[in-house]
Structure 1
Amino acid sequence: MTNPRQIEDRSRRHRDHGGGIDHAISVYGGSRADWLDLSTGINPHPYPLPILETLDWTALPDRAAFSRLCNAARDFWNVPDEAAILPAPGASALIARLPALYPADRVEITPPTYNEHAAAFRAHGWDVVEDGPATARVLVHPNNPDGRVWTAADATARLTIIDESFCDVLPERSLVNLAAGEGTIVLKSFGKFWGLAGLRLGFAIAQPEIIDRLADLTGPWAVSGPALRVGTLALQDAEWADRTRAHLEAEAQKLDQLMIKRGAQLLGGTSLFRLYDVDDAQASHDRLARKHILTRVFPYSRRMLRLGLPPSGAWDRLEDAL
């Protein structure tokens, strides 16, 4: 019989990701308040939270609130009329379920990229390959960690998943129009651009038949009442989105200047995260971590170091640490 504590221990194991301040504290000390987390690509200037109503917390979410969120998402992302939208508790919850929609076969995932896609497909019995031919293909657009962008010509597989978790900083490059076609699923993340990762909200956009099957896997009331309200208001606030894109772009350039001045070479990224080539990524990571600044290194590269943007009051601290 499996020990419940063993189950809890397994649940704490995470694949290679940004974040993990609790682990950093166990290695380098300090308290959570001491740390500056630059290991993620989350906007450090989050959307201002509205005042929530009591019913947002106490009542089961109703269909009207669900529909308002879907309508706001359709307008914000210019979703084609032929496509349907499914909100979910984060894009990662959708990534974990998507491989179950089709019989296991071969999926093409070009590295380096976000590792949850390959993990999800392997968990459902798929063979993950770097080059085709394959029944399915995953395009992270723009790619994490190098910012590579894809085009409609790259959507070659019978099942194509286009992960646009970071595409809200490049809305003109979105491939959401492809969601009207057969076998194409576009994913959107709310937590990255709006800086509210803890809200846990993401979207799948595809033909209605695909969305219906995916909805069966996510179950009823997949999105919380607070997420429905906040997500709807934020997606309706186009002015905030425009200002934020300009602000993030300026800060990304500022971070580049800071890093290049100290010998790093820009490899790519988006205006939410930047990827640099440094002599020894782990040594740079350790030096900053000893000053309670968390960056991102990758198990497949000795030289790649990724940094997110610091909040407004932390630029001097980062410059001093560098």
Structure 2
Amino acid sequence: MNNELDLSQEKPKHGGNLLALRRSLGVLQDVKESWIDLSSAVNRHPWPVPEVPVFLWYELPDLDSLKQAAADYYGANNFVPIAGTQQAIEALPNLLFASEIRHKTKVLVPEVGYQEHGFAWSKWQYAVDTYKNTQDLTVKSWQVLVLIQPNNPSANKLTLAELLSLIETAQVRKAYLIIDEAFIDGVVGASLLSHYQDKAWPACLIVLRSVGKFFGLPGARVGFCFASQLILKGLASVTGPWPIATPATWLLSQAFKDVSWQIQASRDLVSRSQRFEKEIKPLINQFFIALSQSVRWQQSELFYTLFCDEAEGLFEWLQALSIHVRLGDAWLRFALPADTEFDLISKRVQQALLNGQTQGVGQVEEVE
């Protein structure tokens, strides 16, 4: 049995790829001017980035100020700063189990969810299986369970009681529970970190947090892994002494301290969600009414996801209107638009609907 890294697997696809997509279609104009990109589900009203002092580019990173600001923001300090949660997703499979037992170590990941989780464990040749719902978690065996809280893209969440029950199960099995909380910042107190502020941290528990989504700063590539000291020591040894660039370290230290912005951002997400319900959902639903198709919507604080059999048809239709969203297997995910984008989206979709452009998707003309 070969337990080395399997490089033959196809890499998962991601949102936030507008420029690459248009290049592949031979579109050479500056698409950022005319296109609305809702594909990556990050906050479209990001934290306002100030001017970065030039001297920061000349210095190696000192993570002390970032660690302190992060500890205050998260209410916990048992973490390692990382280059986005993706770095931990990549590193953990090679840290937690010896190579000779990986092929028989069972890992459960969501059937619908961030695909990098399953990809990371599969390429290290673990026995990866998927689950559809919480009932599956009780009937399937696992040594590693990956939860996405809330799930991306389904927006499903487990209750605190359900999470604590799974933690107890993991402790009994001497297994690991990895919870990806990349999209949880929009609701104060929703994170499992709040529960453990005054309690001992379970050895089985690993929590991943991201600043890219709520703060709208995916380009900073900053995240945090919360875990036991043993796991943190191992993770720090493979991420190295400078996992985050000096300017990003400085920027996020400021963002974590900006409490007034955080409060306003949470309120703003609620306001834009209400606007999406009122203005965008009814228009998108009209596309399916014209085709006599049923749809199902689910929402999180930062995105809406539509589940339907004609997802690819709607994706192509929206592409023709210069609106880019995330296409999955029978689902589409929409980031909450910025205030300035709502009217543009409504205008383009309304015009296409009035023109009867729900048939012959590939022939829809772009709407300015």
- For normalisation by structure 1, the TM-score amounts to 0.88
Count of residue correspondences: 302
Of 307, 310, 320, which aligns to 1:290?
320
1:154 corresponding residue in structure 2: 166
1:69 corresponding residue in structure 2: 66
Q: 1:93 and 1:32 mapped to 2: Cα distance?
A: 30
Moved over 4 A (4+): none
1:167 aligns to what SS in structure 2?
coil
Of 188, 210, 221, which aligns to 2:231?
210
What's the Cα RMSD here? 1.9
Of 277, 299, 314, which aligns to 1:269?
299
Q: 2:35 and 2:123 mapped to 1: Cα distance?
A: 34
Letter in 2 for 1:217: V
Of 192, 197, 200, which aligns to 2:218?
197
2:275 corresponding residue in structure 1: 254
- Residue 78 of structure 1: how far off its partner (Å): 1.5
After superposition, give the CA deviation of every residue in 1:128-156 in whole Å (9 maximum; x if it has no partner). Answer: 11253111111111110011112322333
Q: 2:91 and 2:181 mapped to 1: Cα distance?
A: 17
Q: 1:296 and 1:200 mapped to 2: Cα distance?
A: 20
1:313 corresponding residue in structure 2: 340
- Residue 241 of structure 1: how far off its partner (Å): 0.8
Letter in 1 for 2:181: E
Q: 1:279 and 1:213 mapped to 2: Cα distance?
A: 44
**Aligned 8 A contact 1:41 1:272 in 2:** yes
Of 136, 148, 152, which aligns to 2:144?
136
Point out where structure 2 has 5 or more consecutive residues left out of the alignment. 1-6, 131-135, 289-294, 350-368
**Aligned 8 A contact 1:57 1:225 in 2:** yes
- Residue 14 of structure 1: how far off its partner (Å): 4.8
Identity of aligned residues (%): 30
**Would the alpha carbon gap of residues 278 and 122 (structure 1) be closer, same or farther in structure 2, given more than 3 Å must change?**
closer
Q: 1:266 and 1:249 mapped to 2: Cα distance?
A: 20
Q: 2:108 and 2:80 mapped to 1: Cα distance?
A: 24
- Residue 288 of structure 1: how far off its partner (Å): 1.2
User: Which is further off, 104-113 or 150-159?
Assistant: 150-159
**Aligned 8 A contact 2:272 2:339 in 1:** no
After superposition, give the CA deviation of every residue in 1:250-304 in whole Å (9 maximum; x if it has no partner). Answer: 1112112234323275531212110123461111111111122101111x32xx2
2:80 aligns to what SS in structure 1?
strand
Q: 1:52 and 1:255 mapped to 2: Cα distance?
A: 34
1:6 corresponding residue in structure 2: none
Q: 1:149 and 1:138 mapped to 2: Cα distance?
A: 13
**Aligned 8 A contact 2:11 2:119 in 1:** no
Of 183, 204, 211, which aligns to 1:166?
183
- For normalisation by structure 2, the TM-score amounts to 0.77
2:25 corresponding residue in structure 1: 27
2:269 aligns to what SS in structure 1?
helix
After superposition, give the CA deviation of every residue in 1:62-88 in whole Å (9 maximum; x if it has no partner). Answer: 2xxx12211211111112xxx521111
Of 12, 15, 24, which aligns to 2:12?
15
- Residue 174 of structure 1: how far off its partner (Å): 0.8
Q: 2:296 and 2:185 mapped to 1: Cα distance?
A: 21
Q: 1:289 and 1:247 mapped to 2: Cα distance?
A: 27
1:187 corresponding residue in structure 2: 208
* Structure number with bigger Rg: 2
**Would the alpha carbon gap of residues 279 and 124 (structure 1) be closer, same or farther in structure 2, given more than 3 Å must change?**
closer
Q: 2:39 and 2:182 mapped to 1: Cα distance?
A: 16
Alignment of 1:201-240 (within 5 A): 201-240=222-261
Point out where structure 1 has 5 or more consecutive residues left out of the alignment. 1-9
Letter in 1 for 2:184: C
**Aligned 8 A contact 2:179 2:207 in 1:** yes
**Aligned 8 A contact 1:141 1:166 in 2:** yes
1:274 aligns to what SS in structure 2?
strand
**Would the alpha carbon gap of residues 280 and 28 (structure 1) be closer, same or farther in structure 2, given more than 3 Å must change?**
farther
